[in-house]
Amino acid sequence: DGKGDVLKTSVKSGEKVLRNVMRENKLELYGLYGKLMNCGGGGSCGTCIVEILEGQELLSQPTSAEKKHLKQKPGTWRLACQTIVGDKSNAGKVVVQRLPQKKK
């Protein structure tokens, strides 16, 4: 929303899951419930929801776990633990909003 802190980082395409990128950069990924109940990146809890504001075409296709947890959510929402940044053949800018459910 332009009001929070902005972090910029670079990753090699196709080598990182978005959840790991955020954790390595010490970005808080989870709300209170997610901190207590997250599945550790297995795609079974649905607590690591992020919104892709820019660069969705640079990410992997949604997995079956994402389709299950996000079936009634906006198409820009993804599970960070299931989303791979790039496919080793592309490059560009991806803008991510953490905790999109808090701003709705």
Percent with pLDDT over 70 in the chain: 92
Q: Which domains does the chain have, with CATH numbers?
A: 6-98 (3.10.20.30)
Query: Whole-prediction pTM value?
Result: 0.85
103, 97 contact by CB (below 8 A): yes
Per-residue model confidence as pLDDT tens digits over 28-76 = 888 888 888 999 999 999 999 999 999 999 999 999 999 999 999 999 9
87, 57 contact by CB (below 8 A): no
